[in-house]
Structure 1
């Protein structure tokens, strides 16, 4: 059971969301869609393994002048492993997994200054179905826990 990390190139990361966004950092989750060369993120909370749908997150209203420190934590419904594709986007990559292989922490410095922080994960047919919990920390800001479903 593995998840492949997707490295998406978002040159103009979700400009439609920035127009009315509050000053406080805001987390958006779902699937990133690109229409007319403009990326947007929906609020989808269910992701199909068979369709290889990606769970994505994007943060607006955070300091992008320096590369942010990121900590992603996932709690899976059953034991699984996370597979991370090495990319120049990730520096100082460190992963930890609980003994029962249900809690996974991925820490890194995101080497994309001047872009809004984002990341995506794809679920494969070998990944457990059910409810996942996700927590994100960007620099010193911890966002509320998010939940989503992985379906067959």
Structure 2
């Protein structure tokens, strides 16, 4: 049940093409989105419906981003992700500080993220066969600014 941070760089145009899924964030002039994608070996992305990620499909990723039309971020930005999950989930990306509840239902991941041209922050997660299925919730903060809560579903 080891969670692997997907170090895949998604083309900003592929993510921002889904403008209808962007919501206004507390960061002035920035847009926030969270979606599920399939990413092939060539880096091409396909939006998955309903924010459903199949833990048995290695091309599926959960990605969230905050994008601004102008530079608003430092080069390195403090990010905190709080995941609420079904019991027994494990989160690990190999470089962040992760604190999980004893029952594995709450996971706080804190890290420094390199901004993209000081105009975007992006994180992607991959799930695998050991992850529990069900509804997950993500609360994220960027440099202390809370983003709207989002939910997604892990399916077999």
TM-score normalised per structure 2: 0.76
- Gapped regions of structure 1 (runs ≥ 5): 87-92
The equivalences for 1:77-96 within 5 A come to 77-86=86-95, 93-96=96-99
More helix by share: 2
Contact 2:74 2:115 in 1 (8 A): no
- Secondary structure at the aligned position of 2:76 is classed as coil
- Secondary structure at the aligned position of 2:126 is classed as strand
Match of 1:27 in 2: 32
Write the deviation string for residues 18-45 of structure 1: whole angstroms up to 9, x where unpaired: 8x78653221111346799786866741
Equivalent-residue separation in structure 2 for 1:39 and 1:63 (angstroms): 26
Counterpart selection for 2:75 from 51, 66, 82: 66
Write the deviation string for residues 85-128 of structure 1: whole angstroms up to 9, x where unpaired: 34xxxxxx321111221111111111245251111111111110
Residues matched between the structures, number: 144
Equivalent-residue separation in structure 1 for 2:81 and 2:117 (angstroms): 20
Match of 1:57 in 2: 64
**Change beyond 3 A, Cα 1:63–1:106:** same
- Secondary structure at the aligned position of 1:14 is classed as helix
Q: Does 1:114 align with 2:117?
A: yes
- Secondary structure at the aligned position of 1:68 is classed as strand
- Gapped regions of structure 2 (runs ≥ 5): none
Equivalent-residue separation in structure 1 for 2:122 and 2:15 (angstroms): 16
